[in-house]
């Protein structure tokens, strides 16, 4: 309970209600094998408290997200997804060595609390020889970019966060480990931070920012835009 309250404190301080503090995230194994199907799940809810909204209750046009797979050679594919009770599922079969990047960039069609909401979610799958895949969707305003994939316990990676094509400098991020306890880290002047997982399991990284530029979306006026990005990875 303390974890959830601490995470919500930032959103509430910015005037964001609990409902819209929800995140969209991707779960998959950090490694894959050529010729073997790789399963993917997409969730929406409160990761750190294990509260996932049922797919039947996903709000606005959230269920219309596009799950984009970028292969090591740069080719992209929109994966077919289907709803389960608590998540959408998809799969692909790797046929190349390198890193496959899985991405969602989604604009919510309805204005809430006078805000437009932009969700971004990323995950990576390393196959064979590890190579950094630097391809990110051009329309992703906020991204978490890993410096290393498929980490093992005790290994360190320097990740970076980019906002509007510039370093997300001196900003706070939330890291939730396998124990579901949230920790806060801060980017440096170059938008970078050190990720050093201490246990095996899934890790959830989240960054948020608010743009107070007003505009109009589908005939609705909004006063600001909330950008929320997640990056999930499995540590072995």
> Is-above-0.85 flag for pTM?
yes
In a domain, 168, yes or no: no
**What are the tens digits of pLDDT across the range 46-89?**
998 888 999 999 999 999 999 999 999 999 999 999 999 999 99
Which structural domain, as residue segments, surrounds residue 107?
2-157+197-235
**What are the tens digits of pLDDT across the range 17-33?**
444 568 999 999 999 99
From the number of C-beta atoms within 10 Å of its C-beta (0-12, 13-18, 19+), residue 218 rates as exposed
In a domain, 162, yes or no: no
The Cα–Cα gap between 236 and 218 comes to 44
The total of structural domains in the chain comes to 1
Q: Looking at residue 102, what is its pLDDT?
A: 97
Q: Looking at residue 138, what is its pLDDT?
A: 86
**What are the tens digits of pLDDT across the range 157-189?**
999 999 999 999 999 999 999 999 999 999 999
- pLDDT tier at 9, thresholds 50, 70, 90: very low
Res. 1: pLDDT tops 70: no
Mean pLDDT to the nearest integer, 102-106:
97
In a domain, 124, yes or no: yes
In a domain, 189, yes or no: no
In a domain, 43, yes or no: yes
Are 137 and 154 in contact by the 8 Å Cβ rule? The answer is no
Res. 36: pLDDT tops 50: yes
Mean pLDDT to the nearest integer, 195-215:
95
Q: Looking at residue 53, what is its pLDDT?
A: 94
In a domain, 190, yes or no: no
In a domain, 55, yes or no: yes
21: CATH: 2.60.40.1930
Q: Looking at residue 135, what is its pLDDT?
A: 82
Res. 235: pLDDT tops 70: yes
In a domain, 210, yes or no: yes
């Amino acid at each position: 309970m303390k974890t959830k309250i601490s995470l919500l404190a930032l959103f509430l301080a910015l005037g964001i209600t609990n409902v819209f503090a929800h995140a969209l995230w991707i779960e998959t194994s950090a490694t894959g094998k050529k010729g073997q199907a790789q399963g993917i799940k997409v969730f929406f809810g409160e990761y750190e408290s294990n509260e996932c909204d049922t797919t039947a209750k996903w709000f606005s046009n959230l269920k219309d997200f596009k799950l984009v797979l970028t292969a090591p050679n740069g080719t992209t594919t929109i994966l077919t997804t289907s709803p389960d009770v608590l998540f959408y599922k998809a799969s692909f079969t790797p046929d190349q060595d390198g890193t496959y990047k899985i991405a969602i960039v989604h604009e919510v069609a309805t204005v809430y609390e006078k805000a437009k909401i932009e969700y971004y979610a990323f995950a990576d799958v390393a196959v064979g020889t590890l190579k950094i895949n630097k391809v990110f969707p051009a329309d992703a305003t906020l991204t978490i970019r890993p410096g290393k994939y498929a980490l093992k316990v005790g290994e360190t990676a320097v990740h970076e966060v980019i906002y509007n094509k510039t370093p997300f400098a001196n900003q706070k991020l939330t890291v939730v480990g396998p124990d579901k306890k949230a920790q806060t880290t801060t980017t440096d002047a170059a938008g970078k931070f050190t990720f050093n997982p201490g246990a095996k399991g899934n890790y959830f990284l989240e960054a948020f920012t608010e743009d107070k530029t007003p505009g109009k979306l589908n005939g609705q006026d909004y006063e600001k835009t909330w950008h929320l990005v997640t990056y999930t990875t499995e540590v072995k």
